[in-house]
Amino acid sequence: MTHIELTVNGAKQSGEVEPRLLLIHYLREHLGLRAANVGCDTTSCGACTVLLDGKSVKSCTVLAVQADGHAVTTAEGLATDAGLHPVQAAFRQNHGLQCGFCTPGMVMAAVGLLAENPHPTEAEVRTGLEGNFCRCTGYHNIVRAVLAAAQAQAQAEQEQAETAEVRA
Ligand code: FES
Ligand code: FES
């Protein structure tokens, strides 16, 4: 067994894990965080996507011991007391989900994508999410949701800048 210490959704976690334990199983079975799903276990579908230090990763491809000392964010960690994360809100408003199985992974991949590229084109969104499969094939609305989230984030940033300017 190996001792690990990490931050998950802002909370410190520690424990003993098998060196071969995958991060997805650590999150689901040790911490009870079940938003990230196991769709394939072969790095193909993206249902298990989470953020590792702010970058989206497929947690079926990362060992829990590799997350030692790092920060993991799952879909459970996105919303705040103020409400849904802009990406979650945009998925809801644009009907970016059907059965919902791919959705937590798709949302986390979108959050990672917008962190790297806050103003993506439609083509960049499609390319950025190509590692995430939706078996309900709702891609059109998913892309629309990510573009809407990018727009909402840009607008919020502009409003914050204007407020700061007025206060200065
Ligand atoms: S379960 Fe990880 S990519 Fe499919
Ligand atoms: S909404 Fe069903 S798999 Fe994507």
CATH topology of domain 2-77: Ubiquitin-like (UB roll) (3.10.20)
Is 86-167 in the same CATH topology as 2-77? no
| pLDDT beyond 90 at 12 | yes
Mean predicted confidence (pLDDT) in 7-23: 97
CATH architecture of 86-167: Orthogonal Bundle (1.10)
Q: Which residues contact 133 (CB under 8 A, 6 or more apart)?
A: 39, 44, 45, 46, 47, 102
Predicted pLDDT at 68: 98
Query: What is the percent of the chain with per-residue pLDDT over 70, rounded to a whole number?
Result: 100
45 touches ligand 1 (CB under 6 Å): yes
Q: DSSP class of residue 26? A: I
Helix, strand, or coil (residue 25): helix
Which atom of ligand 1 has the smallest separation from the CA of 60?
2
Q: How far apart are the C-alpha atoms of 137 and 92, rounded to whole Å? A: 16
- Going from the Cα of 166 to the center of ligand 1, the distance in angstroms, rounded, reads 47
Handedness of CA 78, 84, 87, 88 (dihedral sign): positive
Residue-range domain boundaries for the chain: 2-77, 86-167
Q: Angle, nearest 10°, between helix axes 86-93 and 139-167?
A: 130
Tell me: the pLDDT tens digits for 78-88?
Answer: 999 999 999 99
Residue 98 CB: number of other CB atoms within 10 A? 15
- Going from the Cα of 87 to the center of ligand 1, the distance in angstroms, rounded, reads 21
48 touches ligand 1 (CB under 6 Å): yes
Predicted pLDDT at 167: 77
From 25, 60, 63, the mutation candidate for ligand 1 (largest count of ligand atoms within 8 A of CB) is 60
Residue 159 CB: number of other CB atoms within 10 A? 10
Predicted pLDDT at 85: 95
Tell me: the pLDDT tens digits for 100-158?
Answer: 999 999 999 999 999 999 999 999 999 999 999 999 998 999 999 999 999 999 998 88
78 token code pair: 């996105």
Of the bound ligands, which one is closest to the alpha carbon of residue 131? Answer: 1
- Going from the Cα of 164 to the center of ligand 1, the distance in angstroms, rounded, reads 42
pLDDT top residue among 164 and 151: 151
Grade residue 160 by pLDDT with cuts at 50, 70 and 90. confident
Tell me: the pLDDT tens digits for 32-73?
Answer: 999 999 999 799 999 999 999 999 999 999 999 999 999 999
| pLDDT beyond 90 at 161 | no
Residue pair 108/50 in contact (Cβ under 8 Å)? The answer is: yes
Predicted pLDDT at 52: 98
Question: For residue 84, how far is the Cα from the chain centroid?
Answer: 13
Q: How far apart are the C-alpha atoms of 137 and 28, rounded to whole Å? A: 26
Predicted pLDDT at 159: 86
